[in-house]
């Protein structure tokens, strides 16, 4: 695909592209080759305030929040259609911006985003409220849009993660202010334009790019924002919680990464498939995935380990990084030079702590001007090593061994994270037993990243406090109202009693 796609870097506020009030910008360079892409607005507190006020006006006016449900559905369906119409442009933008292979951007992120929008839209008139089972009055328990949603999105799936937040929040009738990651903003900025063309009224979806420490902090501190939805590091999530406590106490919904254990038992039904999927689980998207299967747990059996790892190594060759604009490429560049250095440091640190390099461990295409790192497998990793505890967010697989099922569970649960876990076994009792024991929000048995839009996604422990997708994904963008209507006869009897009537 062509690199000629024009990149828009301005904020999208109140239905149009505008420059930041300060005029400040920062340069965006492609991780593919280091070439300049465009200047992006470095929005500040004034820009955030302007966007939030516009979102508040649009919400209170009812132009979207009170729109008939079928009309709101039709607008979101139109947005999904426009995403598909612009799918190649969006896929190329995403690839140029964060280095992901364009084929994966096209299929998973852009088409997947359009599918998610349609799913959210279809739910709009399927989410029923409740009534209290009481004979003394009519008790109605209803969900209403929470108001102005502040969404702060990550750089690894910039368009798709924006859709998860924007789609469900808009479906419920909210107005949304999005602060995309400064590392990958371009497709989210484009989303604002497409939403407006689809019929989303001005002010209902605001896109405000900028640095997290400035624009993101301002959104978190703003007292007219009713909730924050954040995907990123747990360090930033703590800052957002602090901002909330210092201002209006808004709920802060976070998804903050993971350290997924991928446990292979000897009784796995298909070890060949398990090895192939284990490679994909960590090397897909260059390992820049919150639920990446970064910890491979194998039984302490030398013959089994040697056989299984040789298969994983063979499948890792499918994920060697190449030019991500090539439709045949399965892996591309890491997001920037700082992240490449971070991944290198993790690998070196593991080696210093006693791990062994089984394969990989080198920078690829150093003369390209981009940031490429080959699939890497480390053996001899122990649970106390830094690389076994902290999120690398790169194509680095840590291989660990366990003595028995109980030991595997202990190692798998032995981190501060709890986003996901995977189990490979042919024993149905073991599948249920180990699944129940996993302290993670997602458990996949004989697969990896199983499920669809009907399955909630989120984590335990420091991986987060919320869920995206499914019906539960709408809850954080609503608030519950209890309405009690007394029955007329009861009112009449009470009035008569107080007036002394017989």
Catalytic residue positions, numbered: 255, 290
Give residue 20's Cα distance to chain centre. Answer: 27
Are residues 162 and 79 in contact, defined by beta-carbon separation less than 8 angstroms? no
- Helix, coil or strand: residue 138: strand
List of residues 6+ apart from 162 with CB closer than 8 A: 113, 151, 153, 178, 180, 187, 188, 191
Tokens (6 digits) for 431: 């599948």
Closest by CA position to 65, among listed 142, 123, 144: 144
List of residues 6+ apart from 298 with CB closer than 8 A: 264, 304, 305, 308, 309, 399, 400, 401, 402
Distance CA 126, CA 128 (A): 6
Beta bridge partners of 120: none
Report the length, in residues, of the chain.
502
DSSP 254: E
Q: Where are the alpha helices (DSSP H) in 62-157?
A: 69-85, 87-98, 102-104, 111-123
- Helices (H) and strands (E) counted in the chain, each on its own, are 16, 23
Instruction: Point out which residues pair with 255 in neighbouring strands.
Output: 231, 464
Neighbours of 30 (CB within 10 A): 23
The whole-angstrom separation of Cα 160 and Cα 116 is 9
Angle made by CA atoms 223, 229, 231, in degrees to the nearest 5: 135
Q: Please check whether residue 176 is in contact with residue 149, taking contact to mean a CB–CB distance below 8 angstroms.
A: yes
How far apart are the C-alpha atoms of 90 and 311, rounded to whole Å? 35
- Enumerate residues 6+ apart whose C-beta is below 8 A from 316: 279, 283, 359, 360, 375, 377
Return d(Cα 490, Cα 487) in angstroms, integer: 6
Task: Give the 3-state secondary structure of residue 143.
Answer: strand
């Amino acid at each position: 695909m062509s690199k000629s796609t024009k990149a828009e870097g301005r904020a999208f506020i109140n239905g149009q592209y505008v420059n930041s009030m300060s005029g400040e910008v920062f340069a965006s360079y492609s991780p593919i080759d280091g070439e300049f892409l465009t200047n992006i607005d470095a929005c500040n507190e004034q820009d955030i305030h302007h966007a939030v006020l516009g979102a508040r006006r649009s919400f209170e006016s009812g132009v979207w929040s009170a729109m008939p449900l079928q009309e709101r559905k039709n607008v979101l369906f139109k947005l999904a259609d426009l995403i598909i119409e612009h799918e190649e442009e969006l896929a190329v933008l995403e690839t140029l911006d964060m280095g992901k292979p364009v084929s994966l951007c096209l299929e998973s992120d852009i088409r997947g985003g359009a599918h998610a929008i349609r799913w959210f839209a279809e739910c709009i008139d399927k989410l029923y409220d409740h009534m209290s089972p009481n004979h003394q009055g009519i008790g109605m328990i209803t969900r209403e849009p929470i108001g102005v949603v502040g969404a702060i999105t990550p750089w690894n799936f910039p368009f798709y993660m924006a859709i998860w937040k924007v789609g469900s929040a808009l479906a419920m009738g909210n107005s949304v202010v999005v602060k995309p990651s400064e590392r990958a903003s371009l497709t989210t900025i484009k989303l604002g334009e497409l939403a407006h063309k689809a019929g989303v009224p001005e002010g209902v979806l605001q896109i405000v790019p900028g640095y997290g420490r400035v624009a993101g902090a301002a959104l978190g501190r703003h007292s007219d924002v009713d909730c924050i939805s954040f995907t990123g590091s747990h360090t930033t999530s703590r800052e957002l919680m602090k901002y909330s406590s210092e201002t209006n106490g808004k709920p802060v919904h976070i998804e903050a990464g993971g350290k997924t254990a991928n446990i292979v038992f000897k009784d796995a039904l298909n070890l060949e498939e398990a090895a192939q999927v284990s490679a994909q689980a960590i090397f897909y998207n260059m390992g820049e995935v919150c639920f990446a299967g970064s910890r491979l747990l194998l039984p302490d059996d030398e013959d089994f380990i040697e056989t299984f790892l040789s298969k994983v190594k063979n499948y890792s060759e499918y994920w060697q990084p190449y030019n991500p604009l090539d439709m045949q490429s399965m892996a591309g560049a890491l997001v920037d030079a700082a992240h490449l250095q971070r991944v290198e440091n993790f690998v070196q640190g593991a080696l210093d702590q006693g791990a062994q390099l089984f394969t990989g461990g080198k920078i690829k295409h150093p003369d390209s001007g981009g940031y490429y790192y080959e699939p890497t497998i480390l053996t001899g990793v122990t649970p106390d090593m830094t690389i076994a505890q902290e999120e690398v967010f790169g194509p680095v697989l840590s291989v660990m061994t366990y003595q028995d099922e109980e030991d595997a569970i202990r190692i798998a649960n032995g981190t501060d994270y709890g986003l996901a876990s995977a189990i490979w076994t042919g024993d149905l009792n073991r599948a249920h037993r180990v699944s129940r024991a996993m302290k993670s929000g997602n458990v996949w048995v004989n697969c990896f990243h199983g499920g669809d839009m009907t399955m909630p996604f989120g984590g335990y422990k420091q991986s987060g406090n919320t869920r995206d997708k499914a019906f539960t994904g709408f809850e954080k963008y609503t608030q519950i109202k209890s309405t009690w209507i007394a029955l007329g006869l009861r009112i009449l009897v009470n009035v008569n009693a107080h007036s002394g009537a017989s």
